[in-house]
Amino acid sequence: MFNADGRMVMDATNDTRGVDGDWILDATSWTPGMYIVHVTQLGTTRQLPWIKVR
C-alpha cells in the first residue's frame, strides 16, 4: 500500500491473515488521505485508489 506521495506505508507480501481471499488491513495509524492499493496475485496486478477520511 502506497500513499499519494508514492511512499510505501504497508507491505503485506508475507502476511497470511487473508481468509477465503479477503484481506483485512489495519489502517488506524495512517493519516487521512489518498492511498494506492497495489495487489499482485498469480501474475496479475491491479492498482486501486483508496481514501481514508478519518
Cell numbers of 40, please? 499482485
Query: What 8-state DSSP symbol labels residue 1?
Result: -
Q: How does residue 1 score in pLDDT terms, banded at 50, 70 and 90?
A: confident
**Mean pLDDT, the chain, integer:** 79
- Residue 14: the pLDDT is 62
- Residue 15: the pLDDT is 63
> Taking residues 8-33, what's their average pLDDT?
75
pTM of the full structure: 0.61
Exposed e or buried b for every residue in 4-34, given b needs 16+ CB within 10 A? eeeeebeeeeeeeeeeeeeeeeeeeeeeeee
Answer yes or no: is pLDDT of 29 > 80: yes
